[in-house]
Each structure stands twice: as structure tokens, then as C-alpha cells.
Amino acid sequence: MVASGQAIPQNEPLKYLALGDSYTIGESVAEHQRWPVQLVAALASKGLQYFQPTIIAATGWRTDDLKNAVESAKPSKNFDLVSLLIGVNNQYQGKSPTEYAVEFEELLEVAIQLAHHEKSKVIVLSIPDYGFTPFGKIGQDKISWEIDHFNAINRSISEKKEVKYVDITDISRMGLSDTELVADDGLHPSGKMYGLWAARIVKELF
């Protein structure tokens, strides 16, 4: 990926795999507004050319759903960048944080394997806080507390595995103060918010 803050020479486009749920597949936004797609465009401005991202994600997926989907898809283990963002549906559906920790760590290990077994090619994103949307604001305090708990888990595991961790939760918490950051469904991020995520990731990488 990026080791020294400089663009690396390359002969052909790089391969990017994005693993996740509704946030990664871009529920309620156009394909070009998905954050993995915007990330590829942003990386191009840094001299890194990627193929359009391979995305394994679907609305409603928990960690176990994503794990099963990756096992079924059997992606090759030659990606130059792998991102992982998962957990909001574990929280929303009242699943155990302990169970989440186990399954998240298993998924992160899979992500590392898919990135040539190179930890430097893996990034984890924090879970956004949907309590700061029209849909979630009525339960904001409880949602935010639980999201923080789940994020403490995935951050700790990411640090243990020595992969890059990008916190975008603070951006998601701007959703009620800037309505343009929330999609028309009143729940998911808009393309504008996803653009802010992509910019944050690039800043962290460089």
C-alpha cells in the first residue's frame, strides 16, 4: 500500500477488496458515491491506480453473515488493499459484544490473508453512529453508547493485529447538524459523507 507517504511505482492497476455491510455497499446512494469507489478515485490523485473495488457486502449483514459470504465467494488472496467495516447490525440486532469480538477477529485474520498476508495492506473502519440520523435520533444515547463499545472492541483487535484503523465515527455524528450528510432514507450516509470518509482514509494512509 503506502509505506513512506509517497506514491509507489506500478505497472498495472492495483486490486482492492472492500468487506462490509450496508455502509460498504452504499445503501441508498448511487454506485459512484459508495465510499470504496470514492476512495479509489481519491487514491488515483495520489498516483495510485486501482481497478474498481471488488465489494463483498450487503445491507443487514452481521459479522457471521459476512464471514459466510467470504467463504462462499472464495476470493483470491492477492489483493493490494483490503478494507473491513462491520458490526452495526450486530449492535442493532442486540447481538453479544463478546460474540462480535470473536467473529470480528476471525474476519480480520481473513482480510489479512486476502491481502497477501501483509498487515500493511489492510484497513479497518470504525462503525458509524446512526444515532445521529433522523431514524436513530430517538434512541441516540443508547445507540451511541453501544456503538462506542463495539468500536472499542474492533479498535483493540485492530491494534493487536497491527493493521491501520481509521475512525470515521465522528464524521457520522455530524448527520443531524448537516442534513446533506444523510441519504434520503433518513438512515444511511449520503455520497457527501462517504466522500469525507474517503478523504479521511487517504489522509491516514499518506
Report DSSP letters for 144-193, one per residue. Answer: HHHHHHHHHHHHHHHHHHT-EEE--HHHHTTTTT-GGGB-TTSSSBPHHH
pLDDT at 2 > cutoff 90? no
DSSP 4: S
Half-sphere CA count of 50, side-chain side, radius 13 A? 25
Which pTM value belongs to this model?
Answer: 0.94
CA-nearest of 85, 81, 48 to 63 is 85
Q: 88 near 127, Cβ under 8 Å? A: yes
pLDDT at 3 > cutoff 60? no
Percent of the chain with pLDDT over 90: 94
Q: 17 near 53, Cβ under 8 Å? A: yes
For residue 90, give every residue at least 6 positions away whose Cβ sits within 8 Å of its Cβ, in sequence order, or none. 62, 63, 97, 99, 100, 150
What does the pLDDT look like over 56-113, one tens digit per residue? 999 999 999 999 999 999 999 999 999 999 999 999 999 999 999 999 999 999 999 9
Q: What is the pLDDT of residue 4?
A: 38
Q: What is the pLDDT of residue 10?
A: 60
pLDDT at 6 > cutoff 60? no
Give the pLDDT mean for 12-21.
Answer: 97
pLDDT at 42 > cutoff 70? yes
Give the pLDDT mean for 20-33.
Answer: 98
C-alpha cell at 70: 467470504
**DSSP 3-state of 67:** helix
pLDDT at 139 > cutoff 60? yes
